[in-house]
Structure 1
Amino acid sequence: MIVKTVKFTRTDNGVRIKTWGRPSNEFVKNVLFQHVAMASGLKVSDVTYQDIHGTSATEVAVKFDCSSKNPCSGIKLQDVKLTYSNQIAEASCQNAGGTSQGYLQPESCL
């Protein structure tokens, strides 16, 4: 499959290959995403993450990677406990602002 020289506008997601967390004999291979432009016009604000507990598949369990043109605002973290491989996970924030309260693991980056 080739996705080449395209511009995505008004999309929920850009380029991605969606997978499910269940056993499968299916596969995806020989994929090329090339010369892709994605307009960043979505403004995210006033979102609450409350009473979330679990295990992350990656070391960075909380990631807010927001647009510099449309930063995320009003993000609220409350009582979040996430681990990674029985260790304390990490949080990463870019162009995101908000508040946090209660128990937080990983430590809030907001």
Structure 2
Amino acid sequence: MQLERDNGLVIYNPNTDGIHVQMSMGVTILNSKIRTGDDCISIGPGTNGLWIEGIHCGPGHGISIGSLGKEQNEPGVQNVIVKTCSFTNTQNGVRIKSWGRASNGFVRNVVFQHLTMVNSQNPIIIDQNYCPGNKNCPGQVSGVRIDGVTYEDIHGTSATPIAVKLDCSSRYHCAGIILEDVHLTYGNNKPASAFCTNAIGSTSGMVQPNGCL
């Protein structure tokens, strides 16, 4: 991972998260370039009041909330703002990820705003069926409740045909999802598509791809 600030190179390690935040309140992350083999920034249980701005991510796995819900009793993630960031050749853009297993965890009051995607494989993704190796995930149903997530002014290109994927829990559907002024294309300005399951919300302004919520 490389993390650069205006004054130069900070650290290098090829296979780890750039920055991980967990069990923390009132953290601010500003104006950094992060190149890594995993998440540029990962956000774990017990995070409240996190502000992320001016991050240039890539390569890497994007900015991820999760994975959450690995434990039955787990504090939630709330009041997160991610704004004015770019994602270049990343596996994901902004992601929320939870295990497909019972949990009392939650995600609420999250804003993703003013983001640029350049050839990101999954620019916008919620994955509530995370189960590596298909082990220890009874019933494949996530108990993590997601409520109140806004995606505003997100534009650029997806490296795959599905630019928006909201794959939510069949037990606790994602609620309060807002897509506002989202414009994502596939490859060289081809139309991209969206996939939603168990997601409830609304759209406003120009939203492309559309027809998801």
* Structures share fold, TM-score greater than 0.5: yes
Q: Choose from 202, 206, 210 the match for 1:99.
A: 202
Figure out how many residues of one structure are paired with residues of the other and give that number. Answer: 86
Alpha carbons of structure 1 residues 34 and 50: separation in structure 2 relative to 1, 3 Å: closer
Tell me what 1:75 maps to: 177
> Which stretch of structure 1 is more off in the superposition, 34-43 or 86-95?
34-43
Structure 1 gaps of 5+ residues are 1-7, 15-20, 22-32
Q: Choose from 133, 137, 150 the match for 1:48.
A: 150
d(CA) in 2 for partners of 1:35, 1:75: 28
- 1:16-55, aligned counterparts within 5 Å? 34-38=133-137, 40-55=142-157
d(CA) in 2 for partners of 1:45, 1:66: 11
The percentage of aligned residue pairs carrying the same residue is 48
Instruction: Provide runs of 4+ in structure 1 moved above 2 Å.
Output: 8-14
User: Rg bigger for which structure?
Assistant: 1
SS in 2 for 1:58: coil
| Contact 2:70 2:98 survives alignment (8 Å) | no
Letter in 1 for 2:156: G
Letter in 1 for 2:200: G
For residue 41 of structure 1, report the CA deviation from its aligned partner.
Answer: 1.2
Structure 2-normalised TM-score? 0.37
SS in 2 for 1:97: strand
Larger fraction in strand = 2
Letter in 2 for 1:52: I
SS in 1 for 2:145: coil
Tell me what 1:9 maps to: 70
The structure, 1 or 2, with the larger RCO (C-alpha pairs under 8 Å, 6+ apart) is 1
| Contact 2:98 2:144 survives alignment (8 Å) | no
| Contact 1:56 1:83 survives alignment (8 Å) | yes
Alpha carbons of structure 1 residues 35 and 56: separation in structure 2 relative to 1, 3 Å: closer
Structure 2 gaps of 5+ residues are 1-68, 75-96, 100-119, 121-131
d(CA) in 2 for partners of 1:88, 1:70: 31
| Contact 1:83 1:89 survives alignment (8 Å) | yes
Alpha carbons of structure 1 residues 34 and 101: separation in structure 2 relative to 1, 3 Å: closer
